[in-house]
Structure 1
Amino acid sequence: MNTAISAKVIPATALTQDAEIFEYSKAADPISSGATPRIPVRTFSSELYASGTTRMVPLDLSKELKTHYSATGPSVLASFVRIEAGESITTSADATSEFFYVIKGNGHTDTEEGAIEWNEGAIFVLPGMAAVHHADADTAFYMVNDSPLLAYLGVEKSKSRFKPTLYAHAIIMAELERAKNDPNAGKRSRVSVLLANKNFDQTLTITHTLWSMFGIVPPGTRQLPHRHQSVALDFAVEANSGVYTLIGPELNADGSIKDAIRVDWVKGAAFVTPAGYWHEHVNESNADAYVMPIQDAGLHSYLRTLDIQFYLED
């Protein structure tokens, strides 16, 4: 790209008007000081898309995060999408990665690469491109993209890093069943499968910025706490009363979460787990529960900043 270069001298007052200098201890931890706002624990009800007209509903925490653009986390934006039967909706995010989970319904999506057919439970990802989603039945998506990352950097996508990719519901569930029946499943922090793309063999993630898990919490079980520096945008795929997540920044000596915030799972609802917070899933119901978190862990894994940690019982 050719850029014109000017020899005009910039006045010193213009060059220095935005400059600041802080003593180290006053600026080394901007989160603790409040300059960088903390990510809140927040729940978004399925009522946001249960009825009404065809529309997108951003799960927007821009006020809490002090951004001038919509965001659910520093680098990710989640939305609910509702499409009435026989109608369509267009998405065209300024993003490099877009994730779609079909909560209900069936139909197809037209893109410049061609059409993608989908049904309930399917997942597909797009590399930041215009798409028209056509619903044959009343449809709802859980949609996540990395548009806040691009907005923060002040950039636009220049090329696609991957092609549109579909993960069929039947294949996801078959692989999850295999993981559940593995003899070592009971020794693992989570019983789940991770969705990946062959183009990202360094991070083993669904896109170069996004990470996606599909997991099960069997009845009467507790999945021990873990933490990571990626924000998690969790979606409760299936849950009865008595399934919940405990969230907090510290652990007690016995491995329980200190002053934990309890988030009860409601089928079809989403909740935010802040980066760096310990969290554990508990199922006190009599049925399997399923959860699908989307994180910016593809980016963190590549930057070597994910810092995932697990609490292990003796």
Structure 2
Amino acid sequence: MEPIQAPSPTVPAGSSAPPHDWLSAGLYYDYRQAANPVRPGLTEPIRYHQWGAELHGQGPTAVLPLDLSGALGCEGPATSPGLAAHFLRLLPGEGLKAAAAATSSLFYVLRGAGTLERPADALGAPLSLSWARGDLFVLPAGADPLLHATEESVLYWVNDAPLLRYLGVLPAGPRFTAVHYPAARQEEALQHLLADPSAARSNRLSILLAHADLPATRTVSHTLWAMLGVVPDGAVQPPHRHQSVALDLIIDCDPGCYSLVGTELRADGTILNPTRIDWEPGGAFITPPGHWHSHGNESGRMARLLPIQDAGLHTHLRSLDIRFASGLGGEG
């Protein structure tokens, strides 16, 4: 249906500016044409994509965005409509700023060691941190942090700047305090889980990282969700799905680890016509929202992964809609 054409506006006497045209931007669509605009050529669907460890394996100190903004039809850098993922590569003795207008910035140290310094600004006090391999830390809105490497380092950085750009807003203040999850404490929590005999019946062998400031969502920030997960040798996890996008980082694995992803299930609860994504350590890939996914390990050794999702936001909106093929929820 074509928009109703507005009459030509008239300029009131004594006014130098034309009046606002209230009508010409209004459009009217048949419900059947507009109820689901997520389709190619309109609102582009989120598609599978994978990045190898060669992206950050060598080269100068640099921010390396995993930018799919062209395919998504949005301003970049963006890895999903609401999140931007990057690798940060730092040579010894060098530094860089992780600059983004974001409310949440999550960093995971794939390798190396160094420091973080963030100056005071109108949004908060100064921050200092020493980081090392396996550490994860999350920053709220504030000044751009300076990361300095004491040895060759690679960090995985995810922020919610694309969401703010879409909303046309800037952070007005921090929504949580900065938090550090040292590798040793992560490992302690994970080993405690693995020692629990009931954990073998769980859909995922994983530790969710949460923040004391966010008891309602139990997430690492008010927009971001983070999980330290393992897939034991010989395991094939039952499929599950959720409406948050997952930006998956493979921390450690040997050949033979993979994900199966698809939009439908067979009657037996396995994924129909799945796409297989083979893992490599230091690589990353996208699991689109609403797609069933299952992880498998035929490598002979336990594998580790770190999915980062916009599930904090979806939990607040009550739209996460996590489902399990077994029908048994998180214990299935």
TM-score tier after normalising by the smaller chain length: over 0.9
SS in 1 for 2:162: helix
CA distance in 2, matches of 1:159, 1:142: 24
1:135 is aligned to 2:173: no
1:84 is aligned to 2:87: no
SS in 2 for 1:162: coil
1:160 is aligned to 2:167: no
The Cα shift of 1:204 comes to 0.2
Deviations 1:211-259 (A, max 9, x none): 0000000000111100000000000001101000001111111111111
**In the alignment, residue 119 of structure 1 is paired with which amino acid?**
A
The 5-angstrom pairing of residues 1-314 of structure 1 reads 11=19, 14-32=21-39, 34-112=41-119, 113-129=126-142, 130-312=144-326
CA distance in 2, matches of 1:124, 1:248: 32
CA distance in 2, matches of 1:8, 1:231: 49
CA distance in 1, matches of 2:16, 2:282: 58
CA distance in 2, matches of 1:8, 1:274: 51
Cα contact 2:141–2:173 (8 A) shared by 1: no
SS in 2 for 1:30: coil
- Structure number, greater radius of gyration: 2
Identity %: 42
Runs of 4+ in 1 over 4 A off after TM superposition: 7-10
Distance 1:313 1:204, change over 3 A: closer
What residue ranges of structure 2 are gaps of 5+ in the alignment? 1-14, 120-125
Cα contact 1:69–1:151 (8 A) shared by 2: no
Deviations 1:72-124 (A, max 9, x none): 01100000110000000011210000000001000100013221110000000
TM-score when normalising by structure 2: 0.90
Bigger shift: residues 121-130 or 280-289? 121-130
CA distance in 1, matches of 2:18, 2:287: 45
TM-score when normalising by structure 1: 0.95
**In the alignment, residue 88 of structure 1 is paired with which amino acid?**
G
CA distance in 1, matches of 2:65, 2:18: 41
The Cα shift of 1:16 comes to 2.6
CA root-mean-square deviation = 1.5
In the alignment of these two chains, the number of paired residues is 307
CA distance in 2, matches of 1:98, 1:71: 14
The Cα shift of 1:10 comes to 5.6
The Cα shift of 1:33 comes to 6.8
Deviations 1:117-145 (A, max 9, x none): 10000000111331100100001000000
Cα contact 1:212–1:292 (8 A) shared by 2: yes
Cα contact 2:177–2:213 (8 A) shared by 1: no
The Cα shift of 1:36 comes to 1.4
CA distance in 1, matches of 2:116, 2:77: 24
SS in 1 for 2:200: helix
The Cα shift of 1:31 comes to 1.4
**In the alignment, residue 29 of structure 1 is paired with which amino acid?**
N
